[in-house]
Amino acid sequence: MRIAIMGSGGMGGYFGGMLARAGEDVHFIARGAHLEAMKASGLTVKTSKAEEFNITAKATDNPADIGAVDLVLFCVKTFDTEEIANFIKPLIGSDTVVISLQNGVDNEEIIEKIIGPGHVIGAAAYVLAKIDSPGVISESINWKIILGERTGEHTQRVEQITKAFEAAGQTVEVPDDINVAIWSKLLGITTMAAITCVTRLPAAHIFSCPETRALTHGILDEGISVAIANEIAIPDTLGDEFKALFDTFPPNYRASMYQDLENGRRMELDDIIGVIVRLGEELGVPTPLTFAAYASLKPYANGKPAMPT
C-alpha cells in the first residue's frame, strides 16, 4: 500500500517505520529538525524488544508532494484535527482510507466532515512512543492496535489494513463495535494522564501509595460511569482489566500528556480529561475526582503560565 503518515512523531514515526520496514510504500509528513534529520539520515526506530533499525525515509512537509494515497495515518494532537484535516486533502483519492490514531472520541467525525464521508475507519492504538532526538523514535509500550468500520461491518479494506499491520509485527484486533474500543482507550488515557500530571510522579510511586492508587481507580470508575450513561457498551470487566493493566506499567511510566506539561507545551486537556467532565455534566453523572484533576491542570492547558511580577 501507498501510505502517508500525517504527523511523524512518536506514534506516527513508530508505525510508519515498522510498516516501511515490512515493505509498504510509506511517506512521512513532518517539520523542523525532525524532518531535516529524516531527509539526511533516514528514520531510526528503537523498540521495547531491544530492536533498532534505520529506514530510508521519504519525508516532506507538504502533502501535495505525495498526492493521493491508499491509507493516511492521522497522528496529530486533537486540537489540530480540524486544521490538519484540511491540510491533508491532497492525499485523499476516491478510495483513500484515513485512520485517526489520536486521543479523544470526536476526531473521526471532525475529519469526515472535512474530507467527505466513507473515508474514515475507527482505531485505538495502545502504543507509547516518542521522539528521542530528531530522526530517532523510541517505543516503550506496544500492546495492540484495534481497527474497525464505524458501522460495525467487516470489510475488505479493514482486512487489507489488518494484514499490513500484522506483517509489520503488530497485534491487531477487529471488534464488532469500534466505538467501545475508542472509548475504552480514552478511559485509560484519561485516568493515567490525570494522575501522572497532577502528582508529577511515575507509575511506581502512584501505585505504591494506597491513597494515590485509590484516587487513580476512582477517576477510572467515574469515566466508566460517564461512558455507560453515554450509551457506550462498556464491558462489565473493563474496570478490573484496566486496574490490573496499570499494575504492569513500567515503573517510570508517565502519560504522554505529562511530557507536554513538563516541557511547557499545550496539552490535550479538554479532549482527554475535560471531555469526561463535560459529558458528566450533560448526562448528570458526578465526576468530582476527574473535575479536581481537570481544574488543577487547566491553568497549564496552553503551556506553563507566566508568573506574576
Same domain as 154, residue 130: yes
Angle, helix 178-199 to helix 238-246, in steps of 10 degrees? 40
Residue 92's beta-bridge partner residues?
Answer: 69
Examine the fold and report which residue of 175, 201, 233 is the final residue of a domain before the chain moves on. Answer: 175
Residues 162 and 198 in one domain: no
CATH number of residue 196's parent domain? 1.10.1040.10
Q: Is 307 exposed, middle or buried (0-12, 13-18, 19+ CB in 10 A)?
A: exposed
Q: Which residues of the chain have pLDDT under 70?
A: none
Q: Which residues contact 84 (CB under 8 A, 6 or more apart)?
A: 6, 7, 74, 76
- DSSP-derived secondary structure for 184-215: HHHHHHHHHHHHHHHH---HHHHHHSHHHHHH
Report yes or no on 240 lying in a domain: yes
pLDDT digits (tens, 9 = 90+) for 88-108: 999 999 999 999 999 999 999
Is residue 181 a contact partner of residue 175, using CB atoms and an 8 Å limit?
A: yes
How far apart are alpha carbons 30 and 59 in whole angstroms? Answer: 7
Whether residue 95 sits in one domain with residue 234: no
13 and 39 both lie in a single domain:
yes
CA distance 47 to 26: 19
Residue 66, domain extent: 2-175
Provide the pairing of β-strand 25-29 with 58-60: parallel
150 and 234 both lie in a single domain: no
What is the per-residue pLDDT across 212-230, written as a single tens digit (0 to 9) for each?
999 999 999 999 999 999 9
Last residue of a domain, one of 175, 202, 229: 175
pLDDT at 141: 86
- The answer to whether residue 244 sits within a structural domain is yes
Per-residue pLDDT, 53: 98
Q: Are residues 189 and 110 in the same domain?
A: no
Same domain, 154 and 188: no
Q: Is 6 helix (H, G, I), strand (E, B) or coil?
A: strand
Q: Are residues 37 and 163 both part of a single domain?
A: yes
- Three cell numbers, residue 290: 476527574
| Same domain, residue pair 141 and 225 | no
Do 235 and 129 share a domain, yes or no? Answer: no
Q: What is the pLDDT of residue 307?
A: 86
**Count of structural domains within the chain:** 2
Same domain, 169 and 184: no
How far is the C-alpha of 61 from the C-alpha of 117, rounded, in Å?
26
Is residue 306 assigned to a domain?
no
pLDDT computed for residue 101 by the predictor: 97
| CB atoms near residue 278 (< 10 Å) | 14
Same domain? 80 vs 226? no
Q: Which of 155, 175, 195 is the last residue of a domain?
A: 175
The overall longest dimension of the chain from CA atoms, in Å, is: 61
